[in-house]
């Protein structure tokens, strides 16, 4: 398993419960940011309805390349 990037650990806060960014998702090539995509609305509604653990909104959004 590949090492997690510093951004995923320290900004996205993977594994830190409610502080974990709601937009951090797993894609075909590893972690991706769903902020600014069509999935953002769904994730925001899940936070609003409290049906998702990761509730953070931790940055302006990143490309998959920036998360590596």
Flag whether 68 is in a domain: no
CA atoms within 13 A of residue 43's CA, in its CB half-sphere: 19
Report how many domains make up the chain: 1
- Report residue 40 as tokens: 């953002």
Tallying the residues shown for the chain, one arrives at 68
pLDDT band at 1 (very low <50, low <70, confident <90, very high): very low
The model's pLDDT over 32-51, given as tens digits with 9 standing for 90+, comes to 999 999 999 999 999 999 99
CA distance 49 to 28: 28
Q: Which domain holds residue 26?
A: 6-59
Q: What's the pLDDT score for residue 67?
A: 85
Flag whether 67 is in a domain: no
Flag whether 1 is in a domain: no
- pTM, full prediction: 0.89
Flag whether 36 is in a domain: yes
């Amino acid at each position: 398993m590949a090492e997690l990037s510093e951004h995923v650990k320290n900004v996205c806060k993977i594994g830190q419960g409610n502080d974990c960014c709601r937009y951090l998702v797993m894609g075909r090539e590893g972690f991706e940011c769903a902020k600014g995509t069509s999935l953002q609305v769904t994730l925001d509604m899940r936070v609003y309805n409290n049906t998702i653990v990761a509730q953070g909104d931790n940055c302006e959004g990143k490309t998959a390349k920036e998360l590596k």
